[in-house]
Amino acid sequence: MSNKELASLFSTIALYLEIEDVPFKPQAYERAAGVLETLQERVEDIYEREGVKGLDKISGVGKGMAEKIEEYIKTGAIGEYEKLRKKIPIDIKELTRIEGVGPKMVRDLYKHLKIKTIADLEKAAKAGKVRKLPNFGERTEQNILQGIEFVKRSKGRWLLGTIFPYVEVLLGKLEGSPFVTRAIAAGSIRRMKETVGDVDILITSEKPEKAIGYFLSVVSYEKIWGKGATKVSVRTREGFDIDMRVLPEEVFGAGLQYFTGSKEHNVRLRTYAASKGYKLSEYGLFRGKRRIVLQQSQDNSERSRRIACATEEDVYRALGMNYIEPELREDHGEIDAALRQAQGKLPGLPKVIPYGSLKGDLQVQTDWTDGKDSIEAMAREAKKQGLEYIAITDHTRDLAMTGGMDEKKLLSQMREIDKINEKFKAQGEKFRVLKGAEVNIRKDGTLDITDEVLAKLDVVGISVHSNFKMPKKDMTARIVKAMGNPHADILFHPTGRLIAKREAYQVDMDEIIATAKKTGTILEINAFPERLDLADSNIKRAVEAGCKMAIDSDAHSISHLGYLRYGVAQARRGWAEQQDIINSYPLKEMLSLLK
Ligand code: DGT
Ligand code: CA
Ligand code: CA
Ligand code: ZN
């Protein structure tokens, strides 16, 4: 059992209770779910040590919730959930994945139309039944149908940010096994693609059967799709699939290269190899075109023809190329660039920004608006993670539901930040909290904070949070106008997309990029796992145009600051170098790159 599983169970209970119109309880479950999501220690460990009292002590978890957690730890189930699930047989999780469909809507749809699944909802909406419900209307019905299309298209893929921490833990366990020599994730995870279809794990081992047995003992799986002497595929209890393969040590490089993909990269590489008289497969790079018969033990003649397999570097080098980082392997011109580079010609491969090279974070929310932690807590955690500065960028006036700040509140927050900086200084700590805001771009392209106050801030982020459905021309004009504001430093999450949830708004990226270049506005690479906005392809365009970018976590709690690595990954996938990313510079230089 993990904290995350329990959190997800709690938020489902909250949804059921909302459908039942139960007062207050849903909020208690929601709050506890939020806490569990980000809790560092496992609740089981806390419970083992301090019992239900210890659970009660976790801030945001009351006595009632602590008892529910205890019930779950002891029995593996929560009675209230089982009861609700039987009473209200709706697939809430699935239905609320549709953008714009919340628990209240699910409740009404169920009460009036007996809608339980996305399929039911699609049928009813297509028949025009949804628009007739009180508070729905034709526009809502259209939006629901659009949302359903989007969910259907993204089905079966998982956010990298959901899968990656799981895989890290799993690899750690595998490496701890005496039967495993090394373990690594290949496939889309190694390429750090924003969404992942399934997890591919490669290991080397002297005892493959034992290694597979060990793997099955540490993964909680729902079913085994298939199992052989050197391979096993499972569906995890979390609902995604893992393919695990055991590779022979001598050909590990070739295997890793093959299973890292992408398919498109591999096809291009294999075709190039063939044109040079080689044969490339997961078993190695071979001279000559004769087809290799795949079998466990290869005969001596094959072994003698095999020229490169131990490391990936060997494979690329033998083909006359420089090593290509996994994030670049998408057949977007990387093979030609690697060939040119090896021949001393330009343009070569980019020197992609290294992980861990960020010095600051320029979008951080706090408990002044919809964040969970205080300014100081965010700063201390950022410092712990090796950063030298962060900008506090809480929401502004128009986002009233988040407690968006007006000028007065912003000014008082600035005084608070001064105090915190003084405190750091007095304690001899080298860390700087910058004053900022995430200012709303209104429909007409003006900002919802006066220029006079914006001028006092160190970092002004601007973003679209309303009227997402404007025509492309109008949306582009709106954003371009806002970028022209002399105080607007960074365009936050430039396309507004939410992966698998909400399409990006219609906007002319070429014009945004040109305007960024002209006005010196920084474009953000928002690292929040469901945003990753700019997307990799847009980053590449921005790099080519010579725009500067910032990689921000958009953290709403201390646990989100770690998202920065997904932003760095996205930047690498967009061929960005360290010099392209302003928050990889020390504070003074970074500030000099803002307007
Ligand atoms: P995913 O799982 O959809 O996020 O994407 P990948 O890239 O992880 O794809 P997956 O899991 O189907 O296969 C893992 C890698 O194995 C893939 O990136 C390249 C390699 N591979 C799989 N099937 C083929 C194939 O038919 N041809 C070639 N050249 N490579 C393949
Ligand atoms: Ca995969
Ligand atoms: Ca796979
Ligand atoms: Zn927010």
Report, as an integer, the average pLDDT of 315-324.
96
pLDDT for 299:
52
pLDDT at 301: 57
| pLDDT, tens digit, 9 for 90 and up, residues 220-231 | 898 899 999 999
Kindly give the distance from the C-alpha atom of residue 233 to the centroid of ligand 2, in angstroms, as a whole number: 12
Ligand 2 centre to CA of 237 (Å) is: 17
**For residue range 1-12, what is the model confidence (pLDDT) as tens digits?**
678 888 888 988
pLDDT of residue 402: 82
How far does residue 556's CA lie from ligand 4's centre (Å)?
A: 7
Give the list of residues 6+ apart from residue 267 with CB closer than 8 angstroms, or none: 331
Distance 14 CA to ligand 3 centre (A): 35
Measured by CA distance, the residue closest to atom 27 of ligand 1 is 263
**C-alpha distances in Å from residue 9, one per residue of 101, 151, 238:** 19, 21, 12
pLDDT of residue 1: 64
Q: 374 alpha carbon to ligand 2 midpoint, in Å?
A: 38
pLDDT digit string (tens) for 155-205? 778 999 999 999 999 999 999 999 999 999 999 999 999 999 999 999 999
Q: Which residues pair with 32 in a beta bridge?
A: none
At a CB cut-off of 8 Å and minimum separation 6, what does 63 contact?
Answer: 56
Spell out the long-range contacts of 325-328 with Cβ–Cβ below 8 A and sequence spacing 24 or more: 325/349, 325/352, 325/572, 326/190, 326/191, 326/192, 326/260, 327/191, 327/192, 327/352, 327/569, 327/572, 327/573, 328/352, 328/572, 328/573, 328/575
State which of 259, 264, 283 you would mutate to test the pocket of ligand 1, scoring each by most atoms of that ligand within 8 A of its C-beta: 259
In tens, the pLDDT along 89-141 reads 888 878 888 888 887 889 889 989 999 999 999 999 999 999 999 889 999 99
Per-residue pLDDT band for 404 (boundaries 50, 70, 90) equals very high
Query: From ligand 2's centre to the CA of 430, what distance in Å?
Result: 42
Three-state DSSP at 430 gives: coil
Q: How far is the CA of 192 from the centre of ligand 3 (A)?
A: 14
Q: Which residues have a beta carbon within 5 Å of ligand 2, which is an ion?
A: 187-188, 198, 200
Joined tokens for residue 332: 């977007």
Residues in contact with ligand 1 (CB, 6 Å cut-off)? 187-188, 193, 196-198, 200, 258-259, 261-263, 266-267
Q: Where are the beta strands (DSSP E) in 91-181?
A: 158-159
- 485 vs 487: CA distance, rounded Å: 5
**Pocket of ligand 1, candidates 184, 189, 266: which has the most ligand atoms within 8 Å of its Cβ, to mutate?**
266
Give the best-scoring range by mean pLDDT among 71-85, 276-290, 516-530: 516-530
Report the range of poorest mean pLDDT among 49-53, 286-290, 429-433, 495-499: 286-290
Which protein residue's CA is at the shortest distance from atom 30 of ligand 1?
Answer: 263
Angle, helices 118-126/137-154, rounded to nearest 10 degrees? 140
> In the chain, what are the domains?
3-154 (1.10.150.110), 158-246 (3.30.460.10), 265-342 (3.30.210.10), 360-592 (3.20.20.140)
What's 98's DSSP letter? S
> What is the reported pLDDT for 34?
86
By C-alpha distance, which of 557, 496, 484 is closest to 524? 496
- Residue with CA closest to ligand 1 atom 31: 263
| Phi, psi of 387, deg, nearest 5 | -85, 160
- pTM score of the predicted model: 0.82
Torsion angles phi and psi, residue 533, rounded to 5: -140, 110
**What is the best residue among 241, 263, 270, 329 to mutate for testing ligand 1's pocket, by most ligand atoms within 8 Å of CB?**
263
pLDDT higher than 50, residue 413 = yes
Q: Which of ligand 1's atoms lies nearest the C-alpha of 258?
A: 20
In degrees rounded to 5, what are phi and psi of residue 459?
A: -135, 120
Distance 20 CA to ligand 2 centre (A): 40
| Averaged pLDDT of the chain | 93
Among all bound ligands, the one having the nearest atom to the CA of 191 is 1
How does pLDDT run across 47-102, given as a tens digit for each residue?
999 999 999 998 888 899 999 999 999 988 899 999 998 888 888 878 888 888 88
Q: Which whole number is the average pLDDT over 458-473?
A: 96
Peptide bond connecting 486 to the previous residue in cis, omega within 30 degrees of 0: no
Position 291 scores a pLDDT of 46
* Atom nearest to 199 CA in ligand 1: 2
Q: Which atom of ligand 1 is nearest to the CA of 188?
A: 8
- Report which of residues 236 and 473 the model is more confident about: 473
Closest-lying ligand to the alpha carbon of 366?
Answer: 4
Q: Is the pLDDT of residue 302 over 80?
A: no
Which chain residues have CB less than 5 Å from ligand 3, an ion?
198, 200, 243
Residue 429 Cα to ligand 3 middle (Å): 47
Residue whose Cα lies nearest atom 16 of ligand 1: it is 259
Specify the pLDDT at position 289.
Answer: 59
User: Distance (Å, rounded) from C-alpha 18 to C-alpha 84?
Assistant: 11
